[in-house]
Structure 1
Amino acid sequence: MDFNEAAVFVKVVQAGSFSAAARQLQLPTSTVSTRVARLEQRLGVTLLQRTTRRLNLTEAGRAYFAHASIGLGYLLEAEAALDAARQKPQGRLRVTAPADLGDSLLAGLVQRLQQQHPALEVELILTDRYMDLVAEGIDAAIRTGELRDSSLIAKPLGMARWAMFASRAYLASSPRLQQPQDLNQHRCLQFSPMGRDGWTLRRGEDIMTIPLTGSTMANSIGIVRNMALNGQGVALLPTYICKTELAIGSLERVLPQWQAQADPVHLVYPRQRFMPPKLLALIDMAQAELRPWFSDPA
C-alpha cells in the first residue's frame, strides 16, 4: 500500500483539480495524475471521472474519500503532535487582557517569558472589549469576572480584589478614618469605570454604599494610583497593583476590614487537541508569575 497515492487523491478532491493539487503539493501535474491512476489500478475501481472542465467523484470515489480523508487527518495530527513536542516556543503569541490589569504586571510577565524563550514574539492587546479569540486570532486572554464562554479552557489565577489605599503623608494630615462614613471628610480618588456616584463596600455579610461628592475621577488606574502616591487622597484600587507600595510603605490600606468587589481572574484559551509550545509556555509562566499577585492580600 502506498499512502502517498491516497494522500494525493485526497488533495485532488479537496483542491478540485489536478493542477490546483499539484500547486499545493509542489509536484508536477503529471506526477499527481500518475499517482491517482496507480491508486485506481491497485484498487481496481474508477475513483474520478475526468472531463475538460471538472472532476466528478464516482460512488466508489466518494466512499474511498470519506474514509481516506479521516485517516489522513489522524496521521497529520499524529505528526503535528510529535513536531510540537520537539519544537521550542517560537512565533507570535497574541494575548489580550483588560486595560486596567496593570502595566507593570503584564510587562514583567512578557519580559520573563521572552527571557526564557528568545524566539517568541509577544503581542499584548489591552482592551475592555470582549474579544472572540478564535475569530480574531488570539492565542489566550486574561479575563476578570465570571466567564461567558464555556467552550474555552480556563486556568484560575486568583481573585482581583479592590480596596482603599492612601499615602502615609495624606493620612497623617487628614481626619482619622474609623468607619466608611468618614470618607465624606476626605478627598476620594475614583477610577471611573468602577462607578461615578459612590463606593460599595463589603465587610463579611455587611454591605454599604458610600456616596461620593467632589471626588477626583480618572479612567486610568495608573493615574489614580499615582495620585494616591502623591498624597492627593484616598483611592479605590485593585490590591494586586499596590503590593509593592504596601511592602515599602509608600501606600497604606485604609479601613482594611472593608473591601469593594472581588472578581475571579482566569487565563483562557480555545480548546484544541494539540497546543502549540508557545501557548504551553504562556500557561506555565502566567500561573507561576501572576498567581502570587492575585492571592489574598491578608
Structure 2
Amino acid sequence: MLDDLDLFVAIVDAGSLSAAAKRHGMPAPTLTRRLQALEARLGCKLLNRSARRMVPSNEGWQYYEQCKPLLSALRQATDSLDATLNRVEGLVKVMAPVSMANGLLLPVWQRLLQRHPQVRLELLLNNGIGDVLEAGADLAIRVGPQPDSQLNQRRLGQVSAVLAAAPSYLAARSWPQSPGQLAGHDLLLTTPLQNWKLHHVDTDEPQPLPDGARLLVNDMLLGVSLAEAGCGIVLCPLSQCRRQLACGSLLRVMPDWRIPPRPVYALWPQRRALPARVRALLDILLEFAAEEPLLQA
C-alpha cells in the first residue's frame, strides 16, 4: 500500500496521470489501475479528472496533506539506514585489552583510519571482560574461550605467553629451572595472567604460579619495562616482549615451561546486517591476523 500511496502523492505533485507515470517509468494505464485499487481500499474517491488535470477531492486533499510528510520522513529514515548499513562512515566503538590494543593491534587501527577517512574510532581499553551490549560497543577483542551466545564471534588466531627477565637480574639471582623455584624470585605478573598455569612442553604437566608476586599490574607494557630494568621475572604475551627478546634486553626463562596458547576472538552483537563501517574493521582484523606471525603461535 505504501507504493500506491507514493504514486498518489506523485500524481498530485505532477498534476496529471501521464506526468506521474513518466516520472515513475510506468504506463499510464498501470498507474490508473493502482490509483483505483487504492481508492477501493480506502472506500472514497481521491482524484477528480478535469479537462487537463487530476484534481484531488476534499478527501484526497486531506489524505495528501497527511501522508506526504509521512512519506518524506520515511525516505529520510531509509536514507539514514542506508548510510549506516552500506556506507563506510560514522563511529565505530571497540572494546579491547589495554596492552594488545596499544601494541599488537596498533597496525589495525592505523589501517582503518587511513583507508576510511569518514570513520571515527572510539577505543574502550580494559583488561577486564566488560559487557559488550551494555557498553554499546560495535565490536570487542577478547582472549580465551568465548561462550556468550548473545555475540557473534570470529577467531583471529592465538597468543602465547613467556617468562622473561633482564640479564642483570638473572646474573644476580640465578636462573630458575622449574615452577617451584619461581617462589624464590621476584615475579612481575599482569592481570589476568596471574591465574594461568604453566605447562611443560613435553608432558603438558600443569603447575600453578606461586603466590605472592612482587608486582601485580593491569598494564603488561609496564611489567615488561620493569623487567627490563632488572626488577624481576615477567610473565607476558610474546607479542608484548618480542622486541626486547630480539635485542637481548630480556632473556627467555624456563623455555621448557609455557602458558598454552590462548585463542583471540573478534566479537560483535547479533544483528541481521553488520554495518559497513564495522564490516570494514572486521575485514582489516582478519587481513591482519592472517599475516601476523604472533597470532599464529
TM-score by length of 2: 0.67
1:271 aligns with 2:270: yes
Q: How many residue pairs are counted as aligned between the two chains?
A: 237
What one-letter code is carried by the residue in structure 2 that aligns with 1:5? L
Q: Within the alignment, does 1:206 sit opposite 2:205 as a pair?
A: yes
Larger radius of gyration: 2
Q: Secondary structure at the match of 1:44?
A: helix
Which amino acid letter does the alignment assign opposite residue 155 of structure 2? P
Once residues 136 and 40 of structure 1 are traced to their aligned partners in structure 2, the CA distance between those partners, rounded to angstroms, is 51
Q: 1:92 to 1:186 in 2, by over 3 A?
A: same
SS for the counterpart of 1:241 is: helix
Measure the CA separation in 2 of the matches of 1:218 and 1:129. 16
Amino acid at match of 1:131: D
Aligned position for 1:13: none
Residue identity over aligned pairs, in percent, reads: 29
| Post-superposition offset of 1:190 | 1.9
Give a deviation string over 1:14-33, Cα, whole Å, max 9, x none: xxxxxxxxxxxxxxxxxxxx
Greater fraction of residues in helix? 2
CA distance in 1, matches of 2:249, 2:43: 77
Alpha-carbon distance between aligned partners in 2 of 1:250 and 1:80, rounded to the nearest angstrom: 52
Against the structure 1 CA distance between its residues 187 and 7, is the aligned structure 2 distance closer, same or farther, given a 3 Å change threshold?
farther
Partner of 1:64: none
Q: CA RMSD in A?
A: 3.6
- CA distance change for structure 1 residues 220 and 7 in 2, over 3 Å: closer, same or farther? farther
**Counterpart among 41, 45, 69 of residue 41 in structure 2:** 45
State the Cα distance separating 1:3 from its structure 2 match: 1.4
How far is 1:193 from its partner?
3.9
Q: Deviations over 1:184-240 (max 9, x none)?
A: 3322112254348xx731114311224244623323222111111112111111222
**Deviation at residue 281 of structure 1 after TM alignment:** 1.6
Shift in CA distance, 193/149, structure 1 to aligned 2, threshold 3 Å: closer
Structure-2 change in CA distance of 1:137 and 1:213 (3 Å): closer
Mean CA deviation greater in 281-290 or 169-178:
169-178
**Structure 1 residue aligned with 2:186:** 187
Give ranges in structure 2 of 5+ residues lacking alignment: 10-33, 45-73
Unaligned runs of 5+ in 1: 10-37, 49-71
Q: Residue 175 of structure 1 contacts residue 186 of structure 1 at CA under 8 Å; is this kept in 2? A: no
Deviation, 1:121, is: 0.8
